[in-house]
Structure 1
Amino acid sequence: MAEQAECWEVLSRELFPEGSGFAVVYGEAGSGKTAFSLTVATMEKEALFINTEGYPTYERALQMEIPATVEFTDISDEWGLIYDILKIWIKRRFIIVDSINSVFRVSASYDIETAFKAFSLTCSLLKTMSKNAKVLATAQVSLSGDVPSGDEVLKYYSTSRMRLIRVGWGKEGKAEINGEFFGMYRIEKGGFKWISCRRS
Protein backbone atom coordinates (compact mmCIF):
# COMPACT_ATOMS: atom_id res chain seq x y z
CA MET A 1 0.00 0.00 0.00
CA ALA A 2 1.34 3.43 -0.92
CA GLU A 3 2.22 6.10 1.62
CA GLN A 4 -1.11 7.90 1.78
CA ALA A 5 0.12 11.32 2.92
CA GLU A 6 2.68 11.50 0.12
CA CYS A 7 0.18 10.48 -2.57
CA TRP A 8 -2.37 13.08 -1.41
CA GLU A 9 0.32 15.76 -1.27
CA VAL A 10 1.50 15.04 -4.81
CA LEU A 11 -2.12 14.89 -6.01
CA SER A 12 -2.92 18.27 -4.46
CA ARG A 13 0.04 19.85 -6.24
CA GLU A 14 -1.06 18.39 -9.56
CA LEU A 15 -4.74 19.31 -9.23
CA PHE A 16 -4.00 22.75 -7.77
CA PRO A 17 -0.52 23.75 -9.01
CA GLU A 18 -1.11 27.41 -8.14
CA GLY A 19 -2.49 26.58 -4.70
CA SER A 20 -5.99 27.24 -6.03
CA GLY A 21 -8.05 26.29 -9.09
CA PHE A 22 -11.10 24.45 -10.36
CA ALA A 23 -10.53 20.67 -10.55
CA VAL A 24 -13.07 18.26 -12.04
CA VAL A 25 -13.08 14.58 -11.05
CA TYR A 26 -15.18 12.32 -13.28
CA GLY A 27 -15.89 8.66 -13.83
CA GLU A 28 -18.66 6.13 -14.29
CA ALA A 29 -21.03 5.15 -11.47
CA GLY A 30 -19.21 3.20 -8.77
CA SER A 31 -15.75 4.48 -9.75
CA GLY A 32 -15.28 6.23 -6.39
CA LYS A 33 -16.07 9.91 -7.05
CA THR A 34 -18.05 10.44 -3.85
CA ALA A 35 -15.59 8.42 -1.73
CA PHE A 36 -12.79 10.54 -3.20
CA SER A 37 -14.51 13.86 -2.47
CA LEU A 38 -15.49 12.82 1.08
CA THR A 39 -11.93 11.68 1.78
CA VAL A 40 -10.63 15.05 0.59
CA ALA A 41 -13.16 16.73 2.91
CA THR A 42 -11.81 14.79 5.91
CA MET A 43 -8.31 16.10 5.17
CA GLU A 44 -9.31 19.70 4.47
CA LYS A 45 -11.44 19.79 7.65
CA GLU A 46 -13.07 23.19 6.99
CA ALA A 47 -14.41 22.53 3.52
CA LEU A 48 -17.91 23.31 2.32
CA PHE A 49 -19.44 20.15 0.82
CA ILE A 50 -22.34 20.85 -1.58
CA ASN A 51 -24.24 17.60 -2.06
CA THR A 52 -26.54 17.02 -5.04
CA GLU A 53 -26.51 13.23 -4.76
CA GLY A 54 -29.02 12.81 -1.92
CA TYR A 55 -29.10 10.81 1.30
CA PRO A 56 -26.53 8.05 0.55
CA THR A 57 -23.73 10.65 0.69
CA TYR A 58 -24.62 11.48 4.29
CA GLU A 59 -24.62 7.80 5.24
CA ARG A 60 -21.13 7.44 3.85
CA ALA A 61 -19.97 10.64 5.57
CA LEU A 62 -21.09 9.22 8.92
CA GLN A 63 -19.25 5.95 8.21
CA MET A 64 -16.09 7.87 7.40
CA GLU A 65 -16.40 10.10 10.49
CA ILE A 66 -16.15 13.38 8.58
CA PRO A 67 -15.06 16.18 10.97
CA ALA A 68 -17.85 18.41 12.32
CA THR A 69 -15.98 21.39 10.87
CA VAL A 70 -16.95 20.29 7.34
CA GLU A 71 -20.16 22.08 6.44
CA PHE A 72 -22.70 20.11 4.40
CA THR A 73 -25.43 21.66 2.30
CA ASP A 74 -27.96 19.74 0.24
CA ILE A 75 -29.51 20.99 -3.01
CA SER A 76 -31.81 19.41 -5.57
CA ASP A 77 -31.97 21.90 -8.46
CA GLU A 78 -29.64 24.12 -10.45
CA TRP A 79 -30.89 27.39 -8.96
CA GLY A 80 -30.30 26.07 -5.44
CA LEU A 81 -26.73 25.26 -6.45
CA ILE A 82 -26.18 28.75 -7.85
CA TYR A 83 -27.71 30.31 -4.72
CA ASP A 84 -25.43 28.29 -2.43
CA ILE A 85 -22.37 29.36 -4.41
CA LEU A 86 -23.33 33.03 -4.22
CA LYS A 87 -24.13 32.73 -0.51
CA ILE A 88 -20.61 31.65 0.40
CA TRP A 89 -18.82 33.91 -2.09
CA ILE A 90 -15.22 34.53 -0.95
CA LYS A 91 -15.92 32.97 2.46
CA ARG A 92 -14.41 29.54 1.86
CA ARG A 93 -10.97 28.35 0.87
CA PHE A 94 -12.11 24.87 -0.19
CA ILE A 95 -15.40 24.05 -1.91
CA ILE A 96 -16.49 20.56 -2.96
CA VAL A 97 -19.48 19.92 -5.25
CA ASP A 98 -20.68 16.31 -5.60
CA SER A 99 -21.77 16.22 -8.35
CA ILE A 100 -21.78 19.37 -10.42
CA ASN A 101 -23.80 18.09 -13.38
CA SER A 102 -26.40 15.75 -11.85
CA VAL A 103 -29.16 18.36 -11.40
CA PHE A 104 -28.51 19.76 -14.85
CA ARG A 105 -28.88 16.34 -16.47
CA VAL A 106 -32.35 16.07 -14.92
CA SER A 107 -33.32 19.63 -15.91
CA ALA A 108 -32.09 19.14 -19.47
CA SER A 109 -34.79 16.54 -20.05
CA TYR A 110 -37.35 19.34 -19.56
CA ASP A 111 -35.62 22.42 -20.98
CA ILE A 112 -32.15 21.86 -22.38
CA GLU A 113 -31.45 25.52 -23.23
CA THR A 114 -32.21 26.82 -19.74
CA ALA A 115 -30.31 23.92 -18.15
CA PHE A 116 -27.26 24.65 -20.32
CA LYS A 117 -27.29 28.35 -19.39
CA ALA A 118 -27.60 27.56 -15.68
CA PHE A 119 -24.80 24.99 -15.91
CA SER A 120 -22.54 27.47 -17.71
CA LEU A 121 -23.30 30.13 -15.08
CA THR A 122 -22.51 27.71 -12.26
CA CYS A 123 -19.15 26.74 -13.78
CA SER A 124 -18.32 30.38 -14.46
CA LEU A 125 -19.01 31.30 -10.82
CA LEU A 126 -16.90 28.41 -9.54
CA LYS A 127 -14.06 29.37 -11.89
CA THR A 128 -14.13 32.94 -10.54
CA MET A 129 -14.11 31.66 -6.95
CA SER A 130 -11.24 29.33 -7.75
CA LYS A 131 -8.89 32.27 -8.24
CA ASN A 132 -8.69 32.51 -4.45
CA ALA A 133 -9.86 29.04 -3.39
CA LYS A 134 -9.64 25.36 -4.22
CA VAL A 135 -12.78 24.12 -5.97
CA LEU A 136 -13.25 20.37 -6.47
CA ALA A 137 -16.27 19.15 -8.42
CA THR A 138 -17.20 15.59 -9.29
CA ALA A 139 -19.03 14.98 -12.55
CA GLN A 140 -21.21 12.19 -13.87
CA VAL A 141 -20.22 10.86 -17.27
CA SER A 142 -22.12 10.72 -20.53
CA LEU A 143 -23.53 7.46 -21.88
CA SER A 144 -20.21 6.70 -23.59
CA GLY A 145 -18.52 6.76 -20.18
CA ASP A 146 -15.43 8.50 -21.56
CA VAL A 147 -16.23 12.15 -20.87
CA PRO A 148 -18.34 14.06 -18.33
CA SER A 149 -21.81 15.24 -19.28
CA GLY A 150 -21.44 18.90 -20.25
CA ASP A 151 -17.82 18.25 -21.16
CA GLU A 152 -17.35 21.33 -23.36
CA VAL A 153 -18.39 23.65 -20.53
CA LEU A 154 -16.34 21.79 -17.91
CA LYS A 155 -13.30 21.71 -20.17
CA TYR A 156 -13.56 25.46 -20.78
CA TYR A 157 -13.80 26.46 -17.10
CA SER A 158 -11.80 23.81 -15.24
CA THR A 159 -8.07 24.16 -14.61
CA SER A 160 -7.39 20.43 -14.16
CA ARG A 161 -9.23 17.13 -14.71
CA MET A 162 -8.96 13.77 -13.04
CA ARG A 163 -10.58 10.59 -14.34
CA LEU A 164 -11.37 7.60 -12.13
CA ILE A 165 -11.57 4.29 -14.00
CA ARG A 166 -12.86 1.09 -12.44
CA VAL A 167 -10.68 -1.97 -12.90
CA GLY A 168 -12.85 -5.07 -13.19
CA TRP A 169 -15.94 -5.34 -10.99
CA GLY A 170 -14.26 -4.88 -7.62
CA LYS A 171 -13.46 -1.80 -5.57
CA GLU A 172 -10.19 -0.95 -7.26
CA GLY A 173 -9.41 1.46 -10.05
CA LYS A 174 -6.86 3.72 -11.66
CA ALA A 175 -6.66 7.50 -11.71
CA GLU A 176 -5.53 9.73 -14.57
CA ILE A 177 -4.78 13.44 -14.29
CA ASN A 178 -5.08 15.46 -17.49
CA GLY A 179 -4.83 12.22 -19.47
CA GLU A 180 -1.73 10.84 -17.71
CA PHE A 181 -1.63 7.90 -15.31
CA PHE A 182 -1.39 9.00 -11.66
CA GLY A 183 -2.04 5.92 -9.55
CA MET A 184 -4.08 2.92 -8.47
CA TYR A 185 -6.68 3.14 -5.72
CA ARG A 186 -9.12 1.10 -3.64
CA ILE A 187 -12.49 2.07 -2.18
CA GLU A 188 -12.78 0.99 1.45
CA LYS A 189 -15.28 1.57 4.24
CA GLY A 190 -12.99 4.30 5.54
CA GLY A 191 -12.84 6.06 2.19
CA PHE A 192 -10.54 6.38 -0.81
CA LYS A 193 -7.10 4.76 -0.39
CA TRP A 194 -4.10 4.85 -2.70
CA ILE A 195 -2.50 1.52 -3.63
CA SER A 196 0.25 3.26 -5.60
CA CYS A 197 0.84 6.71 -7.05
CA ARG A 198 3.21 8.71 -9.17
CA ARG A 199 5.87 10.56 -7.23
CA SER A 200 6.85 14.06 -8.30
Structure 2
Amino acid sequence: MGIAIRSRGLRIHDLVSKSAMCLFYGVAGAGKTNILLTLTRDLCREDGPCLYISTEETLHYEKVGKQAENYANTLFAEVHELDKLLELFLQLSYMDFRILVVDSINSLYRAVAYEESSLAKFTFSLGFLRSMSVQKGFKVLASAQVRAGEDDVEASGMSLLEYYFDTVFQVGFERDKRFVKLVKPKYKVPLVNYFEINEKGAVWV
Protein backbone atom coordinates (compact mmCIF):
# COMPACT_ATOMS: atom_id res chain seq x y z
CA MET A 1 0.00 0.00 0.00
CA GLY A 2 1.40 3.39 -0.98
CA ILE A 3 1.74 6.29 1.39
CA ALA A 4 -0.91 8.94 0.78
CA ILE A 5 0.29 12.34 -0.39
CA ARG A 6 -0.84 15.00 2.08
CA SER A 7 -0.22 18.51 0.83
CA ARG A 8 -2.57 20.74 2.85
CA GLY A 9 -4.89 21.16 -0.13
CA LEU A 10 -2.32 22.67 -2.49
CA ARG A 11 -2.33 19.69 -4.86
CA ILE A 12 -6.13 19.54 -4.88
CA HIS A 13 -6.40 23.24 -5.74
CA ASP A 14 -3.88 22.68 -8.53
CA LEU A 15 -5.85 19.73 -9.94
CA VAL A 16 -9.13 21.65 -9.75
CA SER A 17 -7.57 24.65 -11.49
CA LYS A 18 -6.38 22.45 -14.37
CA SER A 19 -9.55 20.36 -14.65
CA ALA A 20 -12.37 21.16 -17.08
CA MET A 21 -14.98 19.21 -15.09
CA CYS A 22 -14.37 18.38 -11.43
CA LEU A 23 -16.67 16.35 -9.16
CA PHE A 24 -16.81 15.90 -5.36
CA TYR A 25 -19.01 13.06 -4.07
CA GLY A 26 -19.64 11.76 -0.58
CA VAL A 27 -22.01 11.17 2.30
CA ALA A 28 -24.33 13.85 3.67
CA GLY A 29 -22.55 16.27 5.97
CA ALA A 30 -19.06 15.35 4.76
CA GLY A 31 -18.36 18.90 3.61
CA LYS A 32 -19.04 18.92 -0.13
CA THR A 33 -20.92 22.22 -0.10
CA ASN A 34 -18.27 23.90 2.03
CA ILE A 35 -15.56 22.72 -0.37
CA LEU A 36 -17.49 24.06 -3.38
CA LEU A 37 -18.09 27.40 -1.65
CA THR A 38 -14.40 27.67 -0.74
CA LEU A 39 -13.28 26.82 -4.27
CA THR A 40 -15.83 29.27 -5.69
CA ARG A 41 -14.51 31.98 -3.38
CA ASP A 42 -10.88 31.29 -4.31
CA LEU A 43 -11.32 30.79 -8.05
CA CYS A 44 -14.04 33.31 -8.81
CA ARG A 45 -12.69 36.18 -6.74
CA GLU A 46 -10.34 37.01 -9.63
CA ASP A 47 -11.62 34.81 -12.47
CA GLY A 48 -15.33 35.58 -12.71
CA PRO A 49 -18.11 35.78 -13.55
CA CYS A 50 -19.30 32.49 -12.04
CA LEU A 51 -22.69 30.82 -11.60
CA TYR A 52 -23.40 28.76 -8.47
CA ILE A 53 -26.53 26.57 -8.67
CA SER A 54 -27.92 24.96 -5.51
CA THR A 55 -30.39 22.09 -6.01
CA GLU A 56 -30.88 20.83 -2.45
CA GLU A 57 -31.17 23.85 -0.14
CA THR A 58 -27.77 23.23 1.48
CA LEU A 59 -26.16 26.53 0.47
CA HIS A 60 -24.76 28.37 3.49
CA TYR A 61 -25.83 31.92 2.71
CA GLU A 62 -24.55 33.15 6.08
CA LYS A 63 -21.00 32.22 5.08
CA VAL A 64 -21.41 33.92 1.73
CA GLY A 65 -22.80 37.03 3.42
CA LYS A 66 -19.87 37.29 5.82
CA GLN A 67 -17.47 37.27 2.85
CA ALA A 68 -19.63 39.12 0.34
CA GLU A 69 -16.65 40.86 -1.24
CA ASN A 70 -15.11 37.46 -2.09
CA TYR A 71 -18.27 36.37 -3.94
CA ALA A 72 -18.87 39.62 -5.82
CA ASN A 73 -18.22 37.87 -9.14
CA THR A 74 -20.59 34.96 -8.40
CA LEU A 75 -24.29 34.75 -9.19
CA PHE A 76 -26.26 32.34 -6.97
CA ALA A 77 -29.38 30.48 -8.10
CA GLU A 78 -31.61 27.75 -6.66
CA VAL A 79 -33.30 25.09 -8.82
CA HIS A 80 -35.61 22.38 -7.48
CA GLU A 81 -36.79 20.50 -10.60
CA LEU A 82 -34.77 18.42 -13.06
CA ASP A 83 -36.47 20.03 -16.06
CA LYS A 84 -35.67 23.51 -14.74
CA LEU A 85 -32.05 22.54 -14.19
CA LEU A 86 -31.77 21.22 -17.73
CA GLU A 87 -33.41 24.40 -19.03
CA LEU A 88 -30.86 26.51 -17.16
CA PHE A 89 -28.00 24.41 -18.54
CA LEU A 90 -29.28 25.01 -22.08
CA GLN A 91 -29.28 28.75 -21.46
CA LEU A 92 -25.56 28.64 -20.68
CA SER A 93 -24.81 28.78 -24.39
CA TYR A 94 -26.06 32.39 -24.30
CA MET A 95 -24.21 33.33 -21.10
CA ASP A 96 -20.62 34.26 -20.43
CA PHE A 97 -19.74 32.53 -17.17
CA ARG A 98 -16.16 31.36 -16.59
CA ILE A 99 -17.06 28.76 -13.93
CA LEU A 100 -20.28 26.82 -13.30
CA VAL A 101 -20.81 25.25 -9.86
CA VAL A 102 -23.66 22.75 -9.27
CA ASP A 103 -24.46 21.52 -5.74
CA SER A 104 -25.52 18.79 -6.22
CA ILE A 105 -25.66 17.67 -9.82
CA ASN A 106 -27.51 14.37 -9.25
CA SER A 107 -29.99 15.19 -6.46
CA LEU A 108 -32.85 16.16 -8.79
CA TYR A 109 -32.17 13.09 -10.95
CA ARG A 110 -32.41 10.85 -7.87
CA ALA A 111 -35.79 12.36 -7.00
CA VAL A 112 -37.33 11.34 -10.34
CA ALA A 113 -35.15 8.35 -11.30
CA TYR A 114 -38.28 6.22 -11.61
CA GLU A 115 -39.56 8.36 -14.49
CA GLU A 116 -38.91 6.95 -17.94
CA SER A 117 -37.21 10.05 -19.34
CA SER A 118 -35.12 10.99 -16.29
CA LEU A 119 -32.03 8.98 -17.25
CA ALA A 120 -32.07 10.45 -20.76
CA LYS A 121 -32.36 13.98 -19.36
CA PHE A 122 -29.54 13.38 -16.86
CA THR A 123 -27.27 11.91 -19.54
CA PHE A 124 -28.04 14.73 -21.96
CA SER A 125 -27.36 17.38 -19.30
CA LEU A 126 -23.92 15.91 -18.50
CA GLY A 127 -23.02 15.59 -22.17
CA PHE A 128 -24.19 19.13 -22.85
CA LEU A 129 -22.09 20.52 -20.00
CA ARG A 130 -19.06 18.65 -21.28
CA SER A 131 -19.61 19.97 -24.79
CA MET A 132 -20.09 23.54 -23.56
CA SER A 133 -16.99 23.26 -21.38
CA VAL A 134 -14.95 22.32 -24.42
CA GLN A 135 -16.55 24.86 -26.78
CA LYS A 136 -16.70 27.85 -24.45
CA GLY A 137 -13.79 26.96 -22.19
CA PHE A 138 -15.63 27.27 -18.89
CA LYS A 139 -14.96 25.11 -15.87
CA VAL A 140 -17.60 22.90 -14.18
CA LEU A 141 -17.39 22.14 -10.45
CA ALA A 142 -20.05 19.90 -8.94
CA SER A 143 -20.97 17.77 -5.96
CA ALA A 144 -22.91 14.49 -6.02
CA GLN A 145 -25.09 12.84 -3.41
CA VAL A 146 -24.44 9.30 -2.23
CA ARG A 147 -27.17 6.68 -2.09
CA ALA A 148 -28.38 6.23 1.48
CA GLY A 149 -27.99 2.79 3.06
CA GLU A 150 -25.32 1.53 0.67
CA ASP A 151 -22.27 -0.29 2.03
CA ASP A 152 -20.13 1.07 -0.78
CA VAL A 153 -19.89 4.82 -1.10
CA GLU A 154 -21.22 5.51 -4.58
CA ALA A 155 -23.18 8.41 -6.01
CA SER A 156 -26.37 7.87 -7.99
CA GLY A 157 -25.53 7.82 -11.68
CA MET A 158 -21.85 7.37 -10.83
CA SER A 159 -20.95 5.56 -14.05
CA LEU A 160 -22.18 8.57 -16.04
CA LEU A 161 -20.53 11.06 -13.70
CA GLU A 162 -17.18 9.28 -13.93
CA TYR A 163 -17.46 9.22 -17.72
CA TYR A 164 -18.10 12.94 -18.15
CA PHE A 165 -16.01 14.39 -15.29
CA ASP A 166 -12.26 14.26 -15.83
CA THR A 167 -11.39 14.77 -12.14
CA VAL A 168 -13.32 13.04 -9.34
CA PHE A 169 -12.81 13.32 -5.57
CA GLN A 170 -14.42 11.39 -2.73
CA VAL A 171 -15.26 13.41 0.40
CA GLY A 172 -15.77 11.57 3.68
CA PHE A 173 -14.76 10.87 7.26
CA GLU A 174 -11.77 8.94 8.56
CA ARG A 175 -11.28 8.60 12.34
CA ASP A 176 -13.38 11.74 12.93
CA LYS A 177 -11.37 13.64 10.31
CA ARG A 178 -12.80 14.96 7.08
CA PHE A 179 -10.88 13.96 3.98
CA VAL A 180 -10.78 14.52 0.23
CA LYS A 181 -9.36 11.64 -1.81
CA LEU A 182 -8.58 11.70 -5.52
CA VAL A 183 -10.48 8.90 -7.32
CA LYS A 184 -9.96 9.92 -10.95
CA PRO A 185 -7.41 10.12 -12.47
CA LYS A 186 -5.68 7.36 -10.54
CA TYR A 187 -2.11 7.73 -9.29
CA LYS A 188 0.24 5.06 -7.96
CA VAL A 189 0.44 6.99 -4.70
CA PRO A 190 -3.01 8.03 -3.39
CA LEU A 191 -3.69 11.74 -2.99
CA VAL A 192 -5.53 12.41 0.28
CA ASN A 193 -5.99 15.79 1.98
CA TYR A 194 -7.66 16.44 5.34
CA PHE A 195 -9.70 19.51 6.11
CA GLU A 196 -11.78 21.23 8.76
CA ILE A 197 -14.79 23.51 8.43
CA ASN A 198 -15.04 26.89 10.11
CA GLU A 199 -17.12 30.02 9.63
CA LYS A 200 -15.20 30.87 6.45
CA GLY A 201 -15.46 27.47 4.77
CA ALA A 202 -13.13 24.49 4.24
CA VAL A 203 -9.60 24.82 5.66
CA TRP A 204 -6.87 22.31 4.82
CA VAL A 205 -5.01 20.82 7.81
Q: Which TM class, normalised by the smaller chain length?
A: 0.7 to 0.9
Aligned equivalents of 2:175 and 2:199: distance in 1? Answer: 19
Aligned equivalents of 2:157 and 2:25: distance in 1? Answer: 11
SS, match of residue 84 in structure 1 = helix
SS, match of residue 130 in structure 1 = helix
The residue aligned with 1:77 is: 81
* Conserved? CA contact 2:103–2:144, under 8 Å: yes
Identity of aligned residues (%): 26
* Conserved? CA contact 1:31–1:164, under 8 Å: yes
Moved segments of 4+, more than 4 Å: none
SS, match of residue 88 in structure 1 = helix
* Conserved? CA contact 1:23–1:158, under 8 Å: yes
The unaligned stretches of length 5 or more in structure 1 are: 196-200
For 1:69-148, what aligned pairs fall within 5 Å after superposition?
69-89=73-93, 91-109=96-114, 111=115, 113-131=116-134, 132-143=137-148, 144=150, 146-148=153-155
Aligned residues: 185
Distance 1:103 1:57, change over 3 A: farther
Aligned AA for 1:69?
Answer: N
1:154 aligned to 161, 168, 172, which one? Answer: 161
The residue aligned with 1:14 is: 15
RMSD of the TM alignment (CA)?
2.2
Aligned AA for 1:119?
Answer: F
Aligned AA for 2:15?
Answer: E
1:56, distance to aligned residue in structure 2 (A):
4.7
Q: Which TM-score applies when normalising by structure 2?
A: 0.81
Matched, 1:188 2:198: yes
Q: Which TM-score applies when normalising by structure 1?
A: 0.83
